């Protein structure tokens, strides 16, 4: 009788805490109730009493799972659901809770199975049939998207990014992980990929975002950045603590040393449907976590990214596991979009089967010497084909003269004319020209944006369209190039129907998940940034 009273007291207290949304305290109280209830079950032989205790245990496990779900402790919540379903495989509340967990873990087909099983016992829905059908449709939609990659955020873009971000799902295109000639391991295409096609869509382990204040000199506040970084580290550690799979995958990432000694993981390990329970829980020490985040975190305002729907003061940092394996090149073929907590990797130019997918870690529309300095801050020296070629050409005094002339304020039209004449004399072709045009993009952009320069040098320097095609071939689609092209076409009175080159360039920047009409809106918005 005393134990029964204790059980009733604990159950009432836990229920009250759950209703108050005091998740941590309700978990503690339910844990005490569950432990005591299990003891009672082991000592009870009366079938009627045993049945009541098992029902109470099943409901308590389900409620504790709900509280853990709210705290995003998915692995422990999943264990509670599985234990509850061993007692009653048709327990409606547990099936719904497990479905929600699977949905949060991006295991859409598994979530769908749970919701369908709950629908079979829909007589116990208590008016929640509409909610359940909504969850089923959501799982079906995300499962379809994760299999096909047919994402479309056009409505969100067309509405001016109003409301919440569109729902995305994890998507892995035709890619594999292999040894890289650039550094350590890399992500490679297994099939040809068109411009703008999706390569990868993946959710962050953790993110931290804010609008950072600027100091009087225009530099972002250092203290605010330190606070932001600390919060981000805490979030990553919390995620790793709650999920053995995340902890394991983080431990496999590079710390920037001995890259060639690192194991090449199978890409399936990064997919949501790969169960986390098969992983040994690795406690990654604090110093290693800091080194890993220092090397692998992605900044959301970086050159190779586009933060869709955010203002220019917006700043964020996050950890996305598979994109950590994408190496840098000064002749990149991919860029990323940040939408909510997801990173969307798109092909910024045609990528051939077997080719490594590469990002620009820093501004590749800069001269060779400046890129070399930027690479030092990242702790490496770029050895891509473009850098090797430009390094060989540094012996040409004309290149240094043009750079110095621009630094002294020389007319950009004159500098471009001299550069093009040099390339003609040196019999440069194709990508070789593109490399140098990308390095001197700042001069080209200033020239094409100046009516005075165009009037004076128009026929003596290449047309903007020629330069755009040349740049896309070597550095892929770039938003800055796109803006100059769109402004020029608008000034000349071209309608969007005549802007096929701009639309193609736009697909390389924003990807095919933004359809034609929405892309036009983005191009218009870009004119006013």
174-to-144, 268, 481 alpha-carbon distances in Å: 16, 12, 28
Domain boundaries in the chain?
2-148, 154-359, 368-524
Q: Are 339 and 282 in contact (CB under 8 A)?
A: no
Does the pLDDT value for residue 277 go beyond 60? no
Q: What is the pLDDT of residue 280?
A: 56
Does the pLDDT value for residue 402 go beyond 80? yes
Question: What size, in residues, is the chain?
Answer: 529
244-to-52, 154, 250, 269 alpha-carbon distances in Å: 35, 37, 10, 12
Look up the pTM and report it: 0.88
Instruction: Return left, alpha or beta for 28; rule: phi > 0 is left, psi -120 to 50 is alpha, else beta.
Output: alpha
**Separation CA 387–CA 383 (nearest Å):** 6
Instruction: Return left, alpha or beta for 476; rule: phi > 0 is left, psi -120 to 50 is alpha, else beta.
Output: left
Pick the closest to residue 419 from 431, 406, 436 (CA basis). 436
pLDDT band at 43 (very low <50, low <70, confident <90, very high): confident
Domain 154-359 has CATH 2.170.270.10: yes
Alpha helices in 163-243 (DSSP H): 222-242
Q: What is the pLDDT of residue 214?
A: 64
- 2-148: CATH topology is 1.25.40
Q: What is the 3-state secondary structure (H, E, C) of 319-363?
A: ECCHHHHCEECCCCCEEEEEECCEEEEEECCCECCCCECEECCCC
Does the pLDDT value for residue 526 go beyond 70? no
Window from 30-39, 286-295, 360-369, 484-493 with minimum mean pLDDT: 484-493
pLDDT band at 413 (very low <50, low <70, confident <90, very high): very high
Pick the closest to residue 62 from 39, 40, 89, 22 (CA basis). 89
Q: What is the pLDDT of residue 289?
A: 87
Q: What is the pLDDT of residue 315?
A: 80
457-to-412, 414, 466 alpha-carbon distances in Å: 10, 8, 15
Q: What is the pLDDT of residue 360?
A: 93
Question: 467, exposed or middle or buried, with CB in 10 Å at 0-12, 13-18, 19+?
Answer: buried
């Amino acid at each position: 009788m005393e134990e029964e009273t204790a059980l009733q007291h604990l159950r009432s207290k836990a229920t009250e805490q759950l209703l108050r949304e005091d998740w941590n305290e309700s978990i503690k109280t339910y844990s005490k109730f569950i432990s005591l209830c299990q003891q009672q079950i082991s000592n009870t032989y009366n079938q009627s009493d045993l049945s009541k205790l098992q029902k109470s245990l099943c409901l308590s496990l389900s409620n504790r799972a709900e509280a853990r779900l709210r705290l995003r402790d998915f692995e422990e919540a999943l264990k509670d659901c599985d234990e509850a379903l061993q007692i009653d495989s048709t327990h409606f509340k547990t099936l719904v809770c497990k479905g929600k967990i699977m949905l949060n873990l991006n295991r859409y087909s598994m979530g769908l199975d749970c919701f369908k099983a709950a629908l079979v016992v829909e007589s116990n829905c208590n008016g929640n049939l509409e909610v359940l059908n909504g969850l089923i449709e959501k799982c079906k939609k995300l499962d379809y998207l994760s299999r096909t990659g047919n994402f479309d955020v056009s409505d969100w873009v067309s509405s001016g990014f109003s409301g919440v971000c569109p729902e995305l799902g994890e998507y892995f295109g035709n890619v594999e992980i292999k040894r890289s000639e650039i550094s350590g391991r890399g992500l490679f295409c297994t099939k040809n990929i068109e411009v703008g096609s999706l390569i990868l869509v993946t959710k962050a382990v953790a993110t931290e975002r804010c609008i950072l204040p600027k100091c009087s000199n225009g530099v972002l506040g250092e203290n605010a950045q330190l606070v932001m970084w600390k919060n981000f580290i805490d979030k990553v550690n919390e995620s790793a603590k709650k999920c053995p799979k995340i902890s394991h995958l983080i431990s496999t990432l590079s710390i920037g040393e001995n890259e060639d000694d690192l194991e090449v993981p199978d890409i399936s390990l990064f997919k949501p449907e790969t169960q986390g329970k098969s992983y040994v829980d690795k406690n990654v020490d604090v110093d290693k976590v800091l080194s890993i985040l220092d090397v692998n975190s992605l900044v959301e305002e970086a050159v190779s990214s586009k933060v869709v729907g955010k203002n220019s003061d917006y700043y964020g940092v996050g950890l996305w596991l598979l994109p950590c394996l994408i190496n840098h090149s000064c002749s990149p073929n991919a860029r990323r979009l940040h939408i909510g907590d997801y990173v969307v990797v798109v092909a910024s130019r045609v990528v051939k089967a077997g080719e490594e997918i590469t990002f620009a870690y820093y501004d590749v529309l800069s001269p060779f010497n400046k890129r070399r300095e930027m690479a030092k801050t990242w702790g490496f020296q770029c050895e891509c084909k473009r850098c090797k070629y430009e390094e060989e050409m540094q012996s040409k005094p004309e290149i240094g003269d043009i750079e110095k002339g621009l630094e002294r304020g020389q007319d950009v039209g004159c500098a471009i004319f001299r550069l093009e004449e040099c390339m003609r004399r040196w019999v440069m072709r194709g990508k070789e020209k593109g490399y140098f045009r990308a390095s001197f993009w700042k001069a080209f952009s200033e020239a094409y944006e100046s009516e005075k320069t165009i009037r004076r040098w128009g026929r003596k320097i290449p047309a903007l369209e020629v330069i755009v095609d040349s740049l896309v071939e070597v550095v892929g689609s770039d938003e800055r190039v796109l803006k100059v092209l769109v402004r020029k076409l608008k000034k000349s009175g071209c309608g969007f129907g005549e802007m096929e080159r701009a639309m193609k360039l736009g697909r390389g920047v924003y990807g095919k998940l933004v359809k034609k009409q929405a892309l036009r809106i983005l191009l218009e918005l870009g004119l006013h940034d």
